[in-house]
């Protein structure tokens, strides 16, 4: 199985919350103004991340637990039995009232890449969208559906020829400091071509 850079995440949000993977087969800022002294012009300050108090997306029952630094590892197995190992280090951040990002580095077998998830909520439809990009310029769009009772999220990407990628991320502990990402790639016939699990653990 030849590897090529492609998204699959940790997560998405969740990773790695969202996760995304580079595989060949089927192949998850608020600007503020600081007032100066009377008579002085206001001075712009550097953008700072939003906080749960002033951000709608930070109140999302899943995303709010993804803020911080995480590590992830797991394996995906292809139809031919080949195993792909994945390791990730990523950070989740609320950057505006409608944007959550996951940025990190990923090692697939021995191939390293830098990736980013940008998660937003479409104001017209209410649908959560996640755009995954890697440092070679490739991108992939996912749509997400959240389940607050199960503390889980499902991200789905539609590929050419009817192929899909599905990531199902579910918290595994009461502390909300760990979650699993179940990964499934299918071809246009609905056959699973690659699948496995990524385990994500909060480190800070």
Structural domain boundaries in the chain:
13-28+48-202
Asked whether residue 96 carries a pLDDT value surpassing 70, the answer given is yes
Q: Give the per-residue pLDDT at 59.
A: 86
Domain 13-28+48-202, second-level architecture: Beta Barrel (2.40)
Confidence (pTM): 0.73
Asked whether residue 185 carries a pLDDT value surpassing 90, the answer given is yes
Q: What is the mean pLDDT of the chain?
A: 79
Give 13-65 pLDDT, tens digit per residue.
Answer: 334 333 344 333 333 322 222 333 344 443 433 434 444 444 488 888 899 99
Confidence of residue 129 (pLDDT cuts 50, 70, 90): very high
CA distances 195 to 55, 119, 126, 173, Å, are 35, 23, 29, 23
Contact 202, 177 (CB under 8 A): yes
For residue 173, the SS3 value is coil
The DSSP call for residue 41 is P
């Amino acid at each position: 199985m030849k590897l090529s850079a492609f998204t699959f995440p940790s997560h998405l949000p969740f990773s790695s919350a969202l996760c995304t993977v580079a595989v060949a087969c089927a192949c998850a800022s608020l600007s503020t103004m600081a007032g100066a002294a009377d008579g002085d012009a206001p001075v712009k300050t550097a953008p700072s991340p939003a906080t749960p108090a002033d951000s709608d997306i930070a109140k999302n029952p899943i995303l709010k637990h993804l803020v911080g630094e995480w590590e992830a590892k797991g394996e995906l197995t292809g139809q031919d039995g080949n195993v792909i190992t994945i390791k990730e280090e990523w950070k989740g951040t609320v950057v505006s009232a409608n944007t959550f990002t996951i940025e990190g580095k990923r090692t697939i077998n021995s191939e390293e890449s830098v990736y980013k998830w940008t998660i937003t909520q479409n104001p017209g439809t209410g649908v959560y969208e996640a755009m995954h990009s890697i440092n070679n310029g490739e991108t992939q769009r996912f749509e997400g559906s959240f389940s607050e009772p199960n503390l889980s999220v499902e991200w789905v990407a539609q590929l050419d020829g009817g192929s899909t990628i599905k990531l199902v991320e579910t918290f595994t502990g009461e502390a909300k400091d760990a979650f699993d990402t179940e990964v499934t790639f299918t071809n246009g016939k609905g056959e699973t071509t690659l699948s496995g699990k990524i385990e994500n653990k909060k480190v800070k």
